[in-house]
Amino acid sequence: MSKVNVEELKRSSNGLRGNIVDEMTNGVPNVTDETYQLLKFHGMYQQDDRDLRRDLKQKGELPAYSFMLRSRIPGGVITREQYLAHDDIADRFGNGTLRLTTREAFQVHGVLKGDVKPVIQAINHALLSTISACGDVNRNVVVTPDPADNPVNRELQALAIRIANHLTPKSRAYHEIWLDEEPQSGELEEPIYGKTYLPRKFKIGITRTGDNSIDILTHDIGIVAITNGDTITDYQLYAGGGLGKTHNNEDTFPRLADPVGRVSPDLVLKAVEAMVMVQRDHGNRENRKLSRLKYVLHNKGVDWFRSQTEKTGGFLFRNAVTLPPWQFRSWFGWTPQGNGLFTLGLFVENGRIHDSGDFRLKTALKTIATTLSCSFRITATQDLQIRDVTPAQQKVVEVILADHGIRLPDTIAPLRLQSMACPALPTCGLAISEAERVFPDIITELEGIAKQVGLESLPVVTRMTGCPNGCARPYTAELAFVGRSGTKYEIHAGGSPGGDRLTTVIHPGLDQSLFKPFFTELFTRFADNRQAGESFGDWVVRQGEW
């Protein structure tokens, strides 16, 4: 489908309705390109099993179509009942696994077309939704997963919910199509988005000064709380972050957000709305590769963007201030919440909750959710927190995990703990290389090399994606693998441990078969030339040109 057609499709979709009802009930396993685009706004992607694609084509059969549905969960916070609902959905309608995402949400893969409506209704019954989890709108709002139960963190979570609700499309199409609401006469006006919504997807993150556990500078809008004790005095807003690029197209690039200015807490929602509307009116609608807000900031500058936002919103920013250095926190292990309860941060390798042999994470988490009055939180590193655990229940949780073959984070090497990959093959239609399926073995190989040169205890933020779109945020990692073609990867390095510096390319296309000699030499050089306390990313930058 052409890029211009996407804009026309949105304009003529009758509030995101299009032909969805007819196509979802026509008895064939897939939908047209037009409906594929509109379904994104309803929180899903049509996919097919690419492992089977060639054989099925040779047999003259259709691809093995299915749908991936994504729940919208502001801040990633869910009750145990909501967790169990997703666990049940994955078993009844999906492929038996749950996928945690970098936007603190659930994905359920492998849903057949005829089961999409029951899945959405089950998610809605759990008091959650899939609306605007995908599409050219604001997507799930992510929040620092800091476990502390204090007024600041409670307000940040509440702000995420307010923003998510405020920026949800007002069309009743979702409720009519999936939840059997009576159709309304006339087309409802979208007060923020208009008929063509945004030029492209839009991402918002919320944190507090110093806490970069969500890669705040990679968002279209970053909201940073400035505090005095337990009181938020200001929010400093950033704009223009984004990581997607296209290979061999220098007009596309990853970019970190710029500080725009400060607003008082009572103005933050107005400021966010105005920033979204500036992107609506000035984002590139002719070329979707250049349509993110980062290109508006790159082309017009932060001063122009600040002025335009002030005009649109009818308020004035105060000057941005220098904030404390960013620190990346994973919140692994047990952390006191400050209210007598505890949070256990679990490492979930590449975000996949599943059972395989003696490793039975899915069953363990279901047992915990069924047994204890706890809650959960999905983090922006595709990990999971078990929250609100009493001191007496801590041992119970540990025993359940151990009985199901699940290791606690303090028994896992730092290199693996800081690793993250996107799903890629076989379901993602954009993937050109493997990621999630091969990354655990690659990490094992890197761990062996690190141990060989005496670096086994050193944490290195390491990430892998199957294409250059950057879903697993490779361009802020200390070391990253970006799919180039087949088994070849563009190797990136030099991001900071705090997540506030972009990588540089240190190899344009390294085949996986050559990883061991390449990284043996690289890690040996690092071990031999590292300064005291120097991180891998900082060492890469100190080497200069690669």
Residues marked active site are found at: 70, 139, 201, 203, 422, 428, 467, 471
Please choose, from the candidates 163, 158, 135, the residue with its C-alpha nearest in 3D space to the C-alpha of residue 15.
135
Q: Are 136 and 10 in contact (CB under 8 A)?
A: yes
Please choose, from the candidates 353, 443, 291, the residue with its C-alpha nearest in 3D space to the C-alpha of residue 105.
353
Q: Is 116 helix (H, G, I), strand (E, B) or coil?
A: helix
Please choose, from the candidates 267, 274, 257, 272, the residue with its C-alpha nearest in 3D space to the C-alpha of residue 318.
267
Residues 6+ away with beta carbon under 8 Å from 17: 38, 171, 173, 176, 177
Residues 6+ away with beta carbon under 8 Å from 54: none
Q: What is the dihedral of CA 139, 144, 148, 149, to 10 degrees?
A: -30
156-to-129, 131, 297 alpha-carbon distances in Å = 20, 22, 26
DSSP H helical ranges for 167-301:
173-179, 268-282, 293-300
Residue recorded with tokens 């690659």? 442
Residues 6+ away with beta carbon under 8 Å from 22: none
Q: How many CB atoms lie within 10 A of CB 58?
A: 8
Burial class (CB in 10 A: 0-12, 13-18, 19+), 263: buried
Tokens representing 315 are 């308020």
Tokens representing 370 are 């069924």
Q: Where are the beta strands (DSSP E) in 19-71?
A: 44-48, 65-70
d(CA 503, CA 249): 17
